[in-house]
Amino acid sequence: MIETIITRDFGTPAKEITLATEMITLTIDGYQVTVPAGTSLMRAAAENAINIPKLCATDSLEPFGSCRLCLVEIEGRRGYPASCTTPAEAGMVVRTQSAKLQEVRKGVMELYISDHPLDCLTCPANGNCELQDMAGVTGLREVRYGYEGANHLKLKKDESNPYFTFDSSKCIVCNRCVRACEETQGTFALTISGRGFESRVSAGQSESFMESECVSCGACVEACPTATLTEKSVIWLGQAEHSITTTCAYCGVGCSLKAEMKGNEVVRMVPAKDGKANEGHACVKGRFAWGYATHKDRILKPMIRSKITDPWKEVSWDEALDYAASEFKRIQAKHGVDSIGGIVSSRCTNEEGYLVQKLVRAAFGNNNVDTCARVCHSPTGYGLKTTLGESAGTQTFKSVEKSDVILVIGANPTDGHPVFASRMKKRLRQGAKLIVIDPRRIDLVKSPHISAQYHLQLRPGTNVAMVSALAHVIVTEGLMAESFIAERCDLRAFDQWRQFMSKYENSPEVTEAITGVPAQQVREAARLFATGGNGAIFYGLGVTEHAQGSTTVMGIANLAMATGNVGREGVGVNPLRGQNNVQGSCDIGSFPHELPGYRHVSDTTVRTLFEQAWGVPLQAEPGLRIPNMFEAALDGSFMGLYCQGEDIVQSDPNTQHVTSALEAMECIVVQDIFLNETAKYAHVLLPGSSFLEKDGTFTNAERRISRVRKVMPPKAGYADWEVTVALSNRLGYPMNYKHPSEIMDEIARMTPTFTGVSYKRLDELGSIQWPCNEDAPEGTPTMHVDQFVRGKGRFIITQYVATDEKVTRKFPLILTTGRILSQYNVGAQTRRTENVKWHAEDRLEIHPHDAQERGIEDGQWVGIHSRSGETVLRAMVTERMQPGVVYTTFHFPESGANVITTDNSDWATNCPEYKVTAVQVMHVQQQSDWQLEYARFNEEQLGLAEPVV
Ligand code: SF4
Ligand code: SF4
Ligand code: SF4
Ligand code: FES
């Protein structure tokens, strides 16, 4: 799928066509054209292959009408109206070319060019500059005003942003960047300062881009028609010569990106306009932070060693795979068939995940397979399956454009899911109401032109009490969607739920003592959600990563059902998935109890289907979950692990417990692109391939399956799926796939919700939201439309049970954790990019009151102790926190955030309770014992990785 890099620009956005849309016909340059009413003349012409010159218009932004290049003549009208701002009308007769128009346009161009550097041949935009194009199109041959008048040619470049430059001398003040920052991104970091000739684009209050509010999304760079805003990669490498559409490998938004290439080198990433998850937008990670793929730290040669104190030995792929296979066989012969297992990565493709779980079930002969979704969204799987019948979100992201009330609970979209956040913010600026339930004052609570109607700033660990209080108000004040419930839900379960929720113990007045949120606020928020029109719920790890994570997910589904907010656009229950392929890794059978398509391994019919297809008997009992693997390792019964693309040492809670378990194992095979923290405990290191080096698919938070396309050959020789195939063959279980499309074909054959999915179909449709089968050949944007997947929606009683993790005199504060925009999870990728310029270390956010009480000042080192361990970070004193609660991110291994988290977990799924750890914080002078030992161990391991050939 090699494409040209030029994408057609229609000048103004398309009008949505619905059944109610009126179509109108007019004449442009003698051709009859028919378009939806409200379409601009510029777009009407462009859709019919008539290109009107333009500079300030672009089809991702509302028209502005400033450059006057797009003037046209309309019969019966005086003057020359701008075609970008003039709507087409039925019967209009329009001319886009005439001698007079040519003269006016030339005049406009002369003015621009007289104040523009004439360095086209050495300009980075040469070959991709709209100003240059327009000079050509308008036939500009001379500039009558000369170049000596007042101009801006000496203005200084702003190179503060690591990814793009701002060269004001080339700016034509078309306002596209300002509008992109407002309309597309919603950050409002740019303004036009000054008037007339003095007008200039300015970041913030005449600050540099890095000092301003800019979040480096790149929307302005993309919108700029000149070289004023240009990617540094383009400045270094020149213009790309072809592009390949693929999918971002960072978060669960799943943005479609065009990798613009020169041979095998990425020149830049451009969000695909037709990408349904992102519609032409991206964030600082997807658009800019891809340099890790070619970072010098990449592991490119397989390595083995007998003990983790031995130096690594570089070996051939054959030797490494033979060694891994022989070790797994040896361990099984010694400790039994169940003594080994595998971990599927939510960073890898669906096809790779499918192969790892197949390897474990068919080649290892057990069900000891789990995935990192265990530690993030496993409660979503359990909670939504139980209540609605399917372990997935109900909507498309686009659906938020029809929401009237948006409830965000335990999620921080502007940092974790930035492109979706931009879409959500757009809807909020149009007037939708916002309720935020979060212990921290996240940016969404108050940002430019957005202010949450309610911020229910609850104490960490009290989500269930909060959700029950909302339900109590809805039930007792008669705000339920009675007919929806009567028609769509299991009435017995509903009656029980209603009785339970009516109890005084669930009232906001009682739960106030638990959540800390005033009852009146909760009552008003509940009324708004229940009566404000289409209500959509978006939630994240602040819901799931709790001892009662599954209970809150079910509580959220209850709220949606009780208010009739399921089964159409603008509503729904929407888990914001963390990693790029969390949804997919769950879909394709990575949990120890489920075969692909969420079918229990104990279901004989399903198991028989797989046994016949795979030609081996399968165990009927669920295998070990990740925490059980650690326990079994410490017991001596689990001795071998195949870990693909996961860093369990950094990402799983209670680090000391994890490392002790790994140290107890006899053979750990890590497949990764870097020597990550887990690899330091490994015996076999198989080089992984980045998303740029392989074919496959990712499934985002909307259930959208999108193609990942190889844009360069695997740096270490093999894509990850090929390595799993080779390992399986050595273990005596043959796998014979020639291409990932064959793996997807097998997934489709074996999984009822995927039967219509194939690479051919994905190429045709761009992406597909499962279920995709005979009933839904083009996929399913909205789920549970006429009835719930499980038949009747099932209300579940959600009894609040306080977590065991209590504040005490010894540990008086609650630590909660999360992410920041510029970094990504364990940081293995983003730490190896310029994104460290925004966030170079994890910090501990603490309220001024708590800081003052402890004599802590901003920027000082603070020790954080919990009953699990101790680490040291620098403090950030901020009123974003509530008193009694501290917060940190977990992007840097030396911070050891998970040294302090405990092994408490969700009652249903074992998802760790990352969000609630009782801690004490105090001012300290040096690193913790754990950090000192980590530094020593890390140095030792890096030394052992120096190649010995
Ligand atoms: S990079 Fe994004 S946030 Fe920054 S100024 Fe441009 S559009 Fe605004
Ligand atoms: S920086 Fe680019 S987009 Fe912004 S006003 Fe100048 S020329 Fe237009
Ligand atoms: S929002 Fe997520 S998927 Fe989109 S570009 Fe950013 S990190 Fe990638
Ligand atoms: S493109 Fe219409 S006025 Fe600039």
Q: Is the CB of 81 under 6 A from ligand 4?
A: no
Which CA distances in Å does 522 have to 137, 510, 697, 703, 777? 60, 11, 42, 32, 43
Ligand 4: nearest atom to the Cα of 54? 1
Ligand 4 contact via 66 beta carbon (within 6 Å): yes
Any ligand 2 atom below 6 A from CB of 131: no
- Which residue is listed with tokens 């997910």? 553
Over the stretch 571-607, which tens digit does the pLDDT of each residue have? 999 999 878 999 999 999 999 999 999 999 999 999 9
Residue with the two structure tokens 């899911």: 417
Contact criterion met (CB below 8 Å) for 12 and 59: yes
CA–CA distance, 321 with 325 (Å, rounded to integer):
6
Helices and strands (H and E) in the chain: how many: 29, 38
**What b-and-e string marks burial along 867-892, b requiring 16 or more CB atoms within 10 Å of the CB?**
ebbbbbbebbbbeebbebbbbbbbbb
- State if residue 53 touches ligand 3 by the CB under 6 angstroms criterion: no
Give the model's pLDDT for residue 947: 61
| Angle, vertex CA 163, rays to CA 160 and CA 166, nearest 5 | 55
283 lines ligand 1 (CB under 6 A): no
Please identify every stretch of the chain with a pLDDT value under 50, giving residue numbers as ranges: 949
Give the whole-angstrom CA distance, residue 407 versus residue 538: 6
Distance 63 CA to ligand 4 centre (A): 7
Distance from residue 205's CA to the centre of ligand 2 (Å): 17
Question: How many Cβ atoms are within 10 Å of 552's Cβ, its own excluded?
Answer: 28
| SS3 (DSSP) at 919 | strand
Number of Cβ within 10 Å of residue 758's Cβ equals 17
Report the alpha-carbon distance of residue 252 to residue 66 in Å, rounded: 38
Whole-angstrom Cα distance, residue 50 to residue 29?
8
Give the atom of ligand 2 at the shortest distance from the alpha carbon of 201: 5
Ligand 4 atom showing the smallest separation from residue 84 Cα? 2
Output the six-digit token pair for 518: 């005033």
Cα–Cα nearest to 349, from 72, 822, 741, 754:
741
The sign one gets for the Cα dihedral 727, 730, 733, 737 is positive
Q: Which ligand has the shortest distance to the CA of 66?
A: 4
pLDDT at 230: 97
Angle, in degrees to the nearest 10, between helices 740-750 and 350-358? 70
Looking from the CA of residue 251, the nearest atom of ligand 3 is 2
Q: Is 66 in the pocket of ligand 2 (CB under 6 A)?
A: no
Q: Write the residue with the smallest CA distance to atom 4 of ligand 2.
A: 177
Strands (DSSP E) contained in 347-425 are 369-371, 405-409
Identify the H or E element spanning 229: strand 229-231
Q: What is the pLDDT of residue 134?
A: 93
Structure letter (DSSP) for residue 184: I
pTM of the predicted model, to two decimals?
Answer: 0.95
Query: At how many degrees (to 10) do helices 720-730 and 350-358 cross?
Result: 10
How many Å lie between the centroid of ligand 2 and the Cα of residue 224? 5
Sign of CA dihedral 399, 400, 406, 412: positive
Ligand in nearest proximity to the CA of 283: 3
Determine how many CB atoms are found less than 10 A away from the CB of residue 602: 12
Ligand 4 proximity of 82 Cβ (cutoff 6 Å): yes
pLDDT of residue 146: 66
- Which ligand ends up closest to the CA of 248? 3
- What does the pLDDT read at residue 353? 96
Phi, psi of 467 (to 5 degrees): -65, -35
Residue 268 has what pLDDT?
Answer: 97
* Sequence-separated (6 or more) residues with CB below 8 Å from residue 742: none
The residue to mutate among 417, 420, 829, having the most atoms of ligand 3 within 8 angstroms of its beta carbon, is: 417
Q: What are the angstrom distances between the C-alpha of 251 and each of 275, 346, 445, 590, 700?
A: 15, 10, 22, 19, 8
> Atom 5 in ligand 2: which residue has the minimum CA distance?
173
Spatial distance between the Cα atoms of 798 and 127, rounded to a whole number of angstroms: 61
Q: Which ligand is nearest to the CA of 416?
A: 3
Q: Whose CA is nearest to atom 7 of ligand 1?
A: 181
Three-state secondary structure call for residue 388: coil
DSSP states of 549-584: HHHHHHHHHHHHHHTT-SSSTT-EEEE--SBTTHHH
Provide the pLDDT for residue 132: 92
Q: What's the gap in Å between 179 CA and the centre of ligand 1? A: 10
Q: Is the shortest distance between the CB of 578 and ligand 3 below 6 Å?
A: no
Counting every residue written for the chain, the total comes to 949
Question: Is ligand 1 within 6 A of the CB of residue 178?
Answer: no
Each residue's pLDDT tens digit, 881-913 = 999 999 999 888 888 888 888 888 888 888 888
The token pair at 466 is 């909060």
Residue 613 C-alpha from the chain's centroid: 34
CA of 8 to the centre of ligand 4 (A): 17
Q: CA–CA separation, 189 vs 64, rounded Å?
A: 18
Looking at residue 495, its amino acid is D
Q: Closest Cα to atom 2, ligand 1: which residue? A: 217
Is the minimum distance from the CB of 228 to ligand 2 under 6 angstroms? yes
CA of 188 to the centre of ligand 2 (A): 15
Q: Which residues pair with 480 in a beta bridge?
A: none
Regarding the beta carbon of 51 and ligand 4, being less than 6 Å apart is answered no
Mutate to test the pocket of ligand 3, among 255, 270, 838 (most ligand atoms within 8 A of CB): 255
Number of C-beta neighbours around residue 810 at 10 A: 11
Q: Is the CB of 418 under 6 A from ligand 3?
A: yes
Q: Is the CB of 71 under 6 A from ligand 4?
A: no
Q: What is the Cα–Cα distance from 481 to 531, expressed in whole angstroms?
A: 10
